[in-house]
Amino acid sequence: MNLRLSRRVQRVSLSANAAAKSRATELREAGRDILDLTTGEPDFDTPEHIKQAACAAIAAGATKYTPTPGVKALRLAVQRKLQRENRLDYPLADIVIANGAKQIIFNAFAATLDDGDEVLVPTPYWPSFPDSVRFNGGEPVFIECELEQGCKLSAEQLQQHIGERTRWLILNGPGNPSGAVYSVAELQAIAAVLRRHPQVLILLDELYEHIRFDGQPAQSLLNVAPDLQARCLLVGGVSKTYAMTGWRIGFGAGPQVLTEAMTVVQSQSTSGASSVGQAAALAAFDGGLDFLPEQLAAYHWRRDLLVNALRDIDGLEVLEPQGGFFVFVRCAGLLGRYRPDGVRLNNDADVVAYLLDEGVAAVAGSAYGLSPWFRLSIATATDSVAEAGRRIAHACRQLRGAA
């Protein structure tokens, strides 16, 4: 069959995270001993009160179509959550619900980008950022943020990259894959640049807002620069904090003209999000965070286990994450070395393939726009994280220097 695919779909690719996860699963099902450190999915269960709220909603018959921008009760709960946890005030009309935060981001770009519009994407990035831009006709403009600057965008870099076609800046914190958290001073400096360019919108991806290791509350650009709120889309959801990845509920908070346009986009794609998922999310946002300290302690412990295991390995440089689910590792020092079977490591994909052969599934940094690096998830059992560190250290010791 001569099926012609659109140029639009050919501009994007399958998620590298999903591909790495799928390969690890295939090997495990084939009987291989593989430690899967590919995805940012909490190994904790959804809290019981949230599951019970979903069951109650089903029993009460709340299984019908929902309003496209979200059930009003959930939008009110998001409004309260933003006031209580983020110290931000939003009118109800500025809040919209979708099938996960990824759809919020996609809808925003679909509603605002014309062909050739540019979106500033600090590197390393979550892969869906640039592909969502490309799918909607825009052009991602990458700003490389290396280890030496903590994988964080500087105000000077931002100023250098803003041009006539710049439509958006993406700011992700805590970062995926870096775990980077911006300080108040860094956010203030970025805000000062943005004030000079009022045509630039700001997408604030704060999915990991509560997964921080410094003991501080969630901190947003809008907490230090509230005057930018009319230009910002704040993106959040339930997947990371509440271990609700499969419930598929995300929210956006931004100017009404934008949220209304995003609702139009969603009305012609998926319509409203799951009624049962929204009932569960309502219970999540209104149920408090008493369960979180135990989970944070586990993530913090795993981070320290993995960072301490990797930081002294010859050839690796570790960025100690300040939040999120990942440890991001620069492996430039391994390139040019040889595996025990004589194969040369030429790039981070080769390094990841070697680690997989040694029983650890990771994701190459090229998936996040920064090479040669690789990403490891700490959102898995503590014993697996510890063993992964041991296996990586052993694998690196087996490498031979360049001939």
Domains of the chain: 7-45+292-397 (3.90.1150.10), 50-286 (3.40.640.10)
DSSP letter (8 states) at residue 109: H
- The pLDDT score that the predictor gives to residue 402 is 67
- The pLDDT score that the predictor gives to residue 403 is 47
Buried b (16+ CB within 10 A) or exposed e, 185-221: ebbebbbebbeeeeebbbbbbbbbbbbbbeeeebbbb
Phi, psi dihedral angles at 300 (to 5 degrees): -60, -45
The answer to whether residues 98 and 312 touch, using CB atoms and an 8 Å cutoff, is: no
The span from the CA of 309 to the CA of 327, in Å, is 11
Helices (H) then strands (E): counts for the chain: 14, 13
The pLDDT tens digits along the chain (403 residues) read: 789 999 989 998 887 777 888 888 898 899 999 999 999 899 999 999 999 999 999 999 999 999 999 999 999 999 999 999 999 999 999 999 999 999 999 999 999 999 999 999 999 999 999 999 999 999 999 999 999 999 999 999 999 999 999 999 999 999 999 999 999 999 999 999 999 999 999 999 999 999 999 988 888 999 999 999 999 999 999 999 999 999 999 999 999 999 999 999 999 999 999 999 999 999 999 999 999 999 999 999 999 999 999 999 999 999 999 999 999 999 999 999 999 999 999 999 999 999 999 999 999 999 999 999 999 999 999 999 999 999 999 999 999 986 4
- The pLDDT score that the predictor gives to residue 143 is 98
Q: Which two tokens stand for residue 162?
A: 């803003």
The answer to whether residues 90 and 253 touch, using CB atoms and an 8 Å cutoff, is: yes
The span from the CA of 54 to the CA of 52, in Å, is 5
Counting Cβ atoms within 10 Å, is residue 359 exposed (0-12), middle (13-18) or buried (19+)?
middle
- The pLDDT score that the predictor gives to residue 14 is 80
Task: Please state the pTM of the whole predicted model.
Answer: 0.96
Query: How far are the Cα atoms of 166, 174, 241, 297, 380 from residue 288, in angstroms, in the given order?
Result: 39, 21, 11, 17, 24
Counting Cβ atoms within 10 Å, is residue 333 exposed (0-12), middle (13-18) or buried (19+)?
middle
The answer to whether residues 167 and 113 touch, using CB atoms and an 8 Å cutoff, is: yes
Q: Residues with Cβ < 8 Å from 323, sequence gap 6 or more?
A: 173, 174, 175, 179, 180, 181, 208, 211, 212, 213, 214
Q: Which two tokens stand for residue 116?
A: 């050739």
Which of helix, strand or coil describes residue 111?
A: helix
Phi, psi dihedral angles at 204 (to 5 degrees): -105, 100
Query: How far are the Cα atoms of 57, 253, 274, 294, 311 from residue 264, in angstroms, in the given order?
Result: 27, 16, 17, 40, 49
DSSP letter (8 states) at residue 380: S
- The pLDDT score that the predictor gives to residue 50 is 98
